[in-house]
A = this chain, B = another copy of it.
Amino acid sequence: MSLLRRSKVPKWNIRFNSNIANQHVFTSKTIGKDISTHQLLQDLGYINQPSTGLIHWLPLGLKVLHKVEGIIRKRMDEVGGEEFSLSSLSGKELWEKTGRWNNTELFKLKIGSGNDDFDKTRENFCLTPTHEEEITNILKNSQINYKNLPILTYQISRKYRYEKRPRGGLLRGREFLMKDAYSFDKSAEEAMEMYENLNNTYLKIFKDLKIPFLSANADSGDIGGSLSKEWHYIHESGEDVLHKCSECERVSNSELTISYPNEDTPPAKEADVRYMLNENKDTLICAYFPKDRKFMPNFIKDEIDDLDLSTLNLSFEEIYKQFKGEEEEDEDILVLKKFIRIMDPRINHQTNLPDFPISKFQKNNFSTLTDLSIVESKTGEICGDCESGFLESMNAIEVGHTFYLGTRYSNPLNAKFTNQDNKQQLFEMGCYGIGISRIVAAIATVTRDSEGLIWPSSISPYDVSLIEAPKSTRENIDEVVSILKNDDISISFDKRSLNKVGFGSKMINSRMLGFPLIIIIGSKFPIVEIEIRGKRWNNAEDYEYKSLFDQYASNWGWEIQNDKVEKHFVHKDHVSKVIKSLLKDL
């Protein structure tokens, strides 16, 4: 029996080691062309999708996820973060106090006296999307005094969102991995310092990840607070739109980007109109803007404080009814009412305007604003902030968001510390999120090419893919493996026999998996071939390997070929040093 089970061919000297993979069993044998990145990640065995919006992380994908986690944890520790791990289930009491219980994206469920009396009205817990409420409550109950502050807490854990129609795979799922951090300070001033520190930490994190990114001034949305920054990767598939000024270099999302048409732009031919009321319902606001542009009602709110944005959703009939007064029979009442016409600067007297729907009005009660831009910015328009540069618009994938919160949560939860005068005072807070699973998907999307994935070395599952070319021997491969292993270079090695899977297929497969370097061992041994699969993210002048090459090329038998792909040839004894210098740029 034991004789039968002993293989005739000597076994590879490659034993299991978490730094060496010799099979990727979840990688499909055939992979379609032109598939989405989400499908590519599945076909290559990085992830598995058991049902819409849910993800199983397979060994390859989990290695990427863990590397992103590692980068973030290191930088959060550096800035003084203390790691927590809060329960994924949170009771509704705290969420009712902060007014977030009715958020429709909250993943609610019921925990109670048995599983068997389900009742919507008794949903009393949620699977947490973030943890402002719980962490603030912990600090509230911890008798914190001013000497303990600032406190920066963070955690890396699964979060949940009740997406009715989840899409985009990892980018918009029901369960996702996130780093969320919360800061507690003595004063608004120190909380702002903390916010700046954390933005600086985010800069470092994104630089560590190597892929070009943008941070944008943004709206705070449901999280609350008064100041926030979004962190993005630029990609045409992104759901967000960012605008960057050529002059002042300000980057902001559409909600915060006001723009003006440049001089060369002809006025719009056709205008569209939207009607709204103020809160007293005695002023009709009529907003005219080019028919082909996206209307941004928030920009009006900045100018007209008492604008009732909710009236935007009403039909004109309903608006008219409220404007006239529901019980009022006589249309003459309208001559007492006020009208504000907002004419987006992209329209003028040459533009066709829709008919004005009301005939009874007094000209004296009519005012017109012509300087207020009320549409989403477009590439080539003038920056509303510096009023001199030109804006460039681009789609982007949001992967992080930093917020200065002030007392948005400490106030409703009554979370206080003891100040220097021995009085109770509300915490000044900030919160800071990064979507870890989202970063993996975004980087895969931004970097992939027609041949497959391309991971930056910072988060690649393995440093190199090792390939046996015809005429290599097992001894040669074992020797290179043990050299790389000693130098802590992680290796993916396809152990399938060349008789079964040809060299060409193995190369295609390696490129597809996207590790930064492919090491080929063939007939030129002890010269080893290194093919560059990764991308370089810095300037050609700064490449790390260049000075090494200038110094040692002849001693190390190091040559470079630049055909379709860049290849390095080097003697096995120096291969680790060359690999490490190449990885720094990839």
- Indicate if the CB atoms of B142 and A56 lie closer than 8 Å: no
Q: Which of A110-118, A275-283, A295-303, A315-323 lies at the interface with chain B?
A: A110-118
A106 partner residues in chain B, CB cutoff 8 A? 115
Find the B residue at minimum CB distance from A158.
Answer: B88
- Indicate if the CB atoms of B113 and A85 lie closer than 8 Å: no
- Which residues of A137-156 are within 8 A (CB) of B? 137-138, 142-144, 148, 151
Find the B residue at minimum CB distance from A120.
Answer: B118
A116 partner residues in chain B, CB cutoff 8 A? 120
- Which residues of A439-474 are within 8 A (CB) of B? none
Given contacts A65-B85, A89-B174, A107-B115, 8 further A-B contacts (CB under 8 A): A25-B151, A48-B138, A51-B91, A56-B85, A56-B86, A88-B88, A104-B115, A115-B162
- Indicate if the CB atoms of B84 and A114 lie closer than 8 Å: no
Find the B residue at minimum CB distance from A135.
Answer: B56
Query: Is there a chain B Cβ closer than 8 Å to A340's Cβ?
Result: no
Of A65, A85, A138, A164, the most chain B CB neighbours within 10 A belong to A85
A65 partner residues in chain B, CB cutoff 8 A? 85
- Indicate if the CB atoms of B54 and A87 lie closer than 8 Å: yes
Q: Which of A75-83, A235-243, A356-364 lies at the interface with chain B?
A: A75-83
A16 partner residues in chain B, CB cutoff 8 A? 80
A90 to B346 alpha-carbon distance, docked (Å): 53
- Label chain A's interface by main secondary structure: loop
A201 to B528 alpha-carbon distance, docked (Å): 38
A329–chain B nearest beta-carbon distance, Å: 40
A476–chain B nearest beta-carbon distance, Å: 23
- Indicate if the CB atoms of B85 and A57 lie closer than 8 Å: yes
A25 partner residues in chain B, CB cutoff 8 A? 142, 144, 148, 151
Query: Is there a chain B Cβ closer than 8 Å to A484's Cβ?
Result: no
Task: Give a binary string over A231-274; 1 marks a CB under 8 Å from any B CB, 0 the rest.
Answer: 00000000000000000000000000000000000000000000
A86 to B48 alpha-carbon distance, docked (Å): 9
- Indicate if the CB atoms of B56 and A83 lie closer than 8 Å: no
Query: Is there a chain B Cβ closer than 8 Å to A62's Cβ?
Result: yes
A50 to B158 alpha-carbon distance, docked (Å): 18
Find the B residue at minimum CB distance from A51.
Answer: B91
Query: Is there a chain B Cβ closer than 8 Å to A134's Cβ?
Result: yes
Query: Is there a chain B Cβ closer than 8 Å to A58's Cβ?
Result: yes
Query: Is there a chain B Cβ closer than 8 Å to A214's Cβ?
Result: no
A441 to B26 alpha-carbon distance, docked (Å): 37
Report the count of interface residues on A (CB-CB < 8 A).
60
A108 partner residues in chain B, CB cutoff 8 A? 115
Q: List 17 interface pairs A-B (beta carbons < 8 Å), by A numbering.
A: A23-B148, A25-B142, A45-B142, A48-B138, A50-B91, A50-B137, A54-B87, A56-B138, A57-B86, A58-B84, A88-B88, A106-B115, A111-B174, A114-B164, A117-B120, A118-B119, A118-B123
A51 partner residues in chain B, CB cutoff 8 A? 91
- Indicate if the CB atoms of A54 and B119 lie closer than 8 Å: no
A120–chain B nearest beta-carbon distance, Å: 4
Find the B residue at minimum CB distance from A77.
Answer: B18
Contact (A175, B87) CB under 8 Å given A115-B162, A164-B114: yes
Of A118, A144, A151, the most chain B CB neighbours within 10 A belong to A118
A57 partner residues in chain B, CB cutoff 8 A? 84-86
- Which residues of A294-333 are within 8 A (CB) of B? none
Query: Is there a chain B Cβ closer than 8 Å to A29's Cβ?
Result: yes
- Indicate if the CB atoms of A84 and B56 lie closer than 8 Å: yes
Contact (A83, B62) CB under 8 Å given A148-B25, A174-B89, A175-B89: yes
A566 to B29 alpha-carbon distance, docked (Å): 64
Query: Is there a chain B Cβ closer than 8 Å to A59's Cβ?
Result: yes
Query: Is there a chain B Cβ closer than 8 Å to A227's Cβ?
Result: no
- Which residues of A1-51 are within 8 A (CB) of B? 16-18, 23, 25-26, 29, 45, 48, 50-51
A17 to B80 alpha-carbon distance, docked (Å): 7
Find the B residue at minimum CB distance from A1.
Answer: B189
| 5 closest Cβ pairs, A-B complex | A118-B120, A57-B85, A18-B77, A54-B87, A16-B80
- Indicate if the CB atoms of A175 and B134 lie closer than 8 Å: no
Task: Give a binary string over A51-78; 1 marks a CB under 8 Å from any B CB, 0 the rest.
Answer: 1001111110010010000000000010
- Indicate if the CB atoms of A83 and B59 lie closer than 8 Å: yes
A117 to B111 alpha-carbon distance, docked (Å): 17
A334 partner residues in chain B, CB cutoff 8 A? none
A92–chain B nearest beta-carbon distance, Å: 11
Query: Is there a chain B Cβ closer than 8 Å to A109's Cβ?
Result: yes
Find the B residue at minimum CB distance from A94.
Answer: B50
A468–chain B nearest beta-carbon distance, Å: 16
A250 to B427 alpha-carbon distance, docked (Å): 59
Contact of A90 among B50, B55, B77, B117 (CB under 8 A): B50
A363 to B363 alpha-carbon distance, docked (Å): 116
A279–chain B nearest beta-carbon distance, Å: 30
A110 to B108 alpha-carbon distance, docked (Å): 10
A410–chain B nearest beta-carbon distance, Å: 16
